[in-house]
Chains A and B, each alone.
Chain A
């Protein structure tokens, strides 16, 4: 009997951690730093409300659910379930990350939205793209060319110490394109971000959004990472 018992070895090893290490920290919808209609006429109040209260909230809700299921699966040692939940975590968690950045990237015109970057970020843009307008054109072109849903980013590569324009698909966060990339500016090119107002004319949305971009925030992130 003892021989049989020693052969029947469990393939799962249970690791016991302190209770606090296994506590589940869910996430919440961050408030918008301005009112829903503050970005008009560039982005309508209706779009901002739906985008924040419905779409972003859904990512938050679904991320929290996925996290709880993941927690349970991890406790039970259910490897298939843990792996199976990765796409839900990536999609919804990514959606939360990306939109949280996006709200900070926008700013009403009367609070400085649209004012071009100065100082260090301005110089870095000139160095890496030739001119501010060249950067805008590049981001618009990449955003327009993106098939399906995704984001177009102005990224700072911490390792190479230079700026880069990147795109990601669906809700993939910028880090999926490079672990050393820091997002300075992200523009949502999912259809829900512009469709009610611009319909299929994505390029109009892209050309107009620069009027409400918060370059001050981008500059702060850049200066923090570039030192």
Chain B
């Protein structure tokens, strides 16, 4: 989150910006710098603090996922696509009734039960891409351990079954979409599901655990049309079981999974 201190217009319709703000919102009024003292705001004026979203950084260097996801792909996917969604979301938020919601709340609310509002696409894309970068790590993949593995074996039979189901779902998508491992709150079990465009399990009230972007821009530079190689490399070399463990632990605060308990340490 980036905090900007924006001065609301005073009664005469002109405003002052504090020297602390690095971004000055000037859309409502013009300021001439020689008329006001910028170092001290006028006393007794109304302040309105507004906050917008910023582009969160992946928790690793941009080339850290090589050779399974190239630096070029991450640079463009994060720096252009993800960034564009953030900028468009912020543009919507300037006039949106959903300003002030958390990102998760906004995704659910703007999905509007299947008739998505204009903010849905960008808010959901921002959330999903943040989630995606954190679903991966350098030297990821291989096998989960302990409570996570136990839960997967409980809900899918074997770890291989989970991988097969995840891959099948990923390849079954018509057009752009995502594939998720998520926790079904009511049934208290893990499941896999594909979604279209920008939809995520947040919209139907469940808890995402892994998200894989299946839009062409996510893999085309590295894999061209070979989606199964992309998904296999994600599962074998990129997926962060550490993130999965942390997310499952958090989910246990909302869903009683009974045994096994995901380990805290």
Contact = CB atoms under 8 A, between A and B. Distances in A.
B175 A195 contact: no
A32 B255 CA distance: 56
B221 A196 contact: yes
A147 B174 CA distance: 15
A158 interface: no
Contacts of B81: 200
A91 B216 CA distance: 16
A195 B220 contact: yes
A55 interface: yes
A54 B198 CA distance: 25
B70 interface: no
B216 A192 contact: yes
A14 to B, nearest CB: 32
B224 A54 contact: yes
A24 interface: no
Contacts of B174: 87, 91, 170-171
B225 A195 contact: no
B175 A170 contact: yes
B166 to A, nearest CB: 20
B76 A147 contact: no
A192 B80 contact: no
A169 interface: yes
Interface in A183-210: 190-192, 195-196, 199-200
Given A54-B224, A200-B76, A191 B175 contact: no
Interface in B90-122: 121
A26 interface: no
Contacts of B84: 200
Q: How large is the interface on A (under 10, 10 to 19, 20 to 34, 35 or more residues)?
A: 10 to 19
Interface in B106-163: 121
B175 A58 contact: no
Interface in A145-178: 147-149, 169-171
Given A147-B197, A170-B174, A191 B76 contact: no
Contacts of A147: 121, 197-198
Contacts of A195: 216-217, 220-221
Contacts of A170: 174-175
A87 B175 CA distance: 12
B205 interface: no
Contacts of A191: 176, 215-217, 220
A171 to B, nearest CB: 7
A192 B215 CA distance: 10
Contacts of A190: 216
Contact of A148 (B175, B220, B221, B225): B175
Contacts of B76: 199-200
Nearest to A95: B174
A138 B221 CA distance: 29
Contacts of A226: none
Interface centre among B84, B121, B217 (most CB of A within 10 A): B217
A50 interface: yes
B176 A149 contact: yes
A190 B198 CA distance: 15
Contacts of B175: 91, 148-149, 169-171
Contacts of B225: 50, 54-55, 58, 192
Nearest to B220: A195
Interface string B208-221: 00000001110011
Interface in A87-118: 87, 91
A61 B69 CA distance: 29
Closest 4 CB pairs of A and B: A191-B216, A170-B175, A200-B80, A91-B174
8 contacts: A91-B174, A148-B175, A149-B175, A170-B174, A191-B215, A192-B216, A195-B221, A196-B221
